[in-house]
Amino acid sequence: MTILPTLLLVDDEEHSLAAMRMALEDDFECLTAPNADEAMRLMEENFVQAIFCDHRMPGKTGVEFLVEVRERWPETVRIIITGYTETNDMIAAINEAGIYQFLTKPWHPDQLVMAAKNAAQLFQLSREHDRLSLEMRFMGKTAENKIETRRRALREGFGFERILRSANSPMNATVDLARQVASFDVPVLLTGEPGTGKDAMARAMHYASLRSDQSYYEINCAGLPDDVFMVELLGAKKGAVAGSPGNRIGLLQKASRGTLFLNGVDTLSPQMQLILLRVATEGSFEPVGGTETLTTNTRLMAGSHSDLAGSMMQGTFRKDLFYALSATELALPPLRARMVDLEILTQHILSDLASEHSKPVKGVTNLALEFLGNYDWPGNLPELGNELTRMLILAQEPELGPELISRHILQADPSVTARPDPGEADVLAAEGTLKDRVEAIEARILRETLTRLKWNKSRAADELGLSRVGLRSKLDRYGVQQPGKSATAEEKD
């Protein structure tokens, strides 16, 4: 069933109302009123889309009535029917009542029907416009909320909270300084050994900066040939790179208004240092194969694996570039200098590995953590991640024990003996008699073998080609003792 649009017809002359109703009732639901007061009552009780109102009426005029309608029902289309054509009245009606159309008496029925259809269509279009405007405002707010939610998730997922550390970690001072520097739009130089987390720190600083709603990019310069690095950084014009059919957009353009982290700047060639100096000081560059100078508004962060001050002294790194990149310098400690963080780091890495490989684990035993804590981790966080991955793969129980740890880490552990336990290179280069140096290596082998075999002395003796008595003699000689057991318990074993 089709619902007809509702019209309100207002006229103090009864025959005029009847004539209008007769012309319109086939296409519209028509309400009639002889005066403004009755018309206002009908407006309050019905959903009216358009009004045809006589201008000259006793009491309130048509314009006065339609002014009130405009205030209360502004979407209703208002049409004046008048037998007079005074210009001043028309202007007043347009200004005060917002009249959509004038119809003059006598009107033709077709003219009246056409005006009514146009008014009904205008009403629907106005309602649809309002609906769409409301939806657009809602969508705008929804989009803003989604963007803000994404920004918050990025800040939480890549912010300083991701830099795991304990309450008394040596990393805390670096993080505190990074928080202060993050909101200042200046270049930052991050120094530290490979694997110390310079990329995570740079990303955290970006999401804590005023550019957090813009893009973040990073590239490792180490090992990249100059031609490849130039294309990645500067971009290239069509035809400048073999196999590339069009223009290539470089990171300096992609990261404009955002942040670009260049890790391994200590490996840059003299040519690339000169190009980067221009970017850092002028913000300008030319794409490969192009002559047009482009500009970028990129915040540069640089990472160095080695001491740039030493490189400057040797003449392998430009002083002006160093000062351009190091408005603020942050030094990240190696893993061996933050062993207080090892338990937190281990638990977090294992949790991620367990989810990735669908193999649930509880963690590592205290003894295993002790072994891991006495290794110097030259490969820093990536090496720790690799070792924990290996342990997870080999594990048969939910808690990872020391027998899963790699031999070179077990052999480096000094916690199970009163004697110092130098590394192999230290032993070979140390002073002392041949006998002393051989005994130091022998003690390391004994500790590693027993730990790997869970202190099963029979199996250890068989593997090492010793008798049980001979093994015990060597253990006593070198002071090698099972962790957690007293000397008395060892004698009874």
Residues 295 and 167 in one domain: yes
Residues 382 and 462 in one domain: no
At residue 418, the pLDDT reads: 34
At residue 476, the pLDDT reads: 73
Residue 426 banded pLDDT, cuts 50, 70, 90: low
Residues 277 and 381 in one domain: no
Domain boundary among 374, 405, 436: 405
Residues 220 and 292 in one domain: yes
Strand-pair partners of 30: 7
Of 26-40, 87-101, 141-155, 354-368, which range is least confident?
Answer: 141-155
Domain range for 356 is 334-405
At residue 200, the pLDDT reads: 92
What dihedral do alpha carbons 101, 104, 107, 110 form, nearest 10°? -20
At residue 423, the pLDDT reads: 47
Residues 346 and 461 in one domain: no
Q: In this predicted model, what pLDDT tens digit does every residue of 62-111 receive, in sequence order?
A: 888 888 888 888 888 998 888 766 666 666 666 666 788 888 888 888 88
Domain boundary among 405, 427, 445: 405
Among residues 147, 160, 153, 80, the alpha carbon closest in space to that of 115 is found at 80
Cβ within 8 Å of residue 4, ≥6 positions away: 27, 28, 29
* Residue 269 three-state SS: coil
**191 in any annotated domain:** yes
Q: Is the pLDDT of residue 437 over 80?
A: no
Of 104-108, 280-284, 346-350, 409-413, which range is least confident?
Answer: 409-413
Residue 369: CATH number of its domain: 1.10.8.60
**189 in any annotated domain:** yes
**311 in any annotated domain:** yes
**426 in any annotated domain:** yes
**153 in any annotated domain:** no
Q: Is the pLDDT of residue 422 over 90?
A: no
Residues 112 and 174 in one domain: no
Residue 426: CATH number of its domain: 1.10.10.60
Handedness of CA 493, 423, 368, 401 (dihedral sign): negative
Residues 264 and 357 in one domain: no
Domain boundary among 344, 372, 405: 405
Residue 417 banded pLDDT, cuts 50, 70, 90: very low
Q: In this predicted model, what pLDDT tens digit does every residue of 284-339 receive, in sequence order?
A: 999 998 888 999 999 999 999 988 888 898 889 999 999 999 999 999 999 999 99
Higher pLDDT among residues 352 and 455, named by residue: 352
Strand-pair partners of 303: 190, 263
Residue 299: CATH number of its domain: 3.40.50.300
Count of alpha carbons within 13 angstroms of residue 54, beta-carbon side:
24
Cβ within 8 Å of residue 267, ≥6 positions away: 221, 222, 223, 305
Residues 422 and 441 in one domain: yes
At residue 245, the pLDDT reads: 67
Residue 62: CATH number of its domain: 3.40.50.2300
**492 in any annotated domain:** yes
Residues 349 and 446 in one domain: no
Strand-pair partners of 32: 9
**133 in any annotated domain:** no
Residues 16 and 117 in one domain: yes
Of 182-186, 387-391, 449-453, 458-462, which range is least confident?
Answer: 449-453
The count of structural domains within the chain is 4
Task: Compute how many other C-beta atoms are within 10 angstroms of the C-beta atom of residue 181.
Answer: 17
Instruction: Give the chain's end-to-end CA distance (angstroms, integer).
Output: 96
Task: Compute how many other C-beta atoms are within 10 angstroms of the C-beta atom of residue 203.
Answer: 23
At residue 491, the pLDDT reads: 52
Residues 319 and 189 in one domain: yes
**328 in any annotated domain:** yes
At residue 420, the pLDDT reads: 38
Residue 248 banded pLDDT, cuts 50, 70, 90: confident
Q: Is the pLDDT of residue 483 over 80?
A: no
Q: What is the mean pLDDT of residues 216-226?
A: 91
Residues 318 and 197 in one domain: yes
The CA radius of gyration of the chain, in Å to the nearest whole number, is 42
Give kind and range of the element (H or E) at residue 163: none
Strand-pair partners of 80: 53, 102
At residue 198, the pLDDT reads: 95
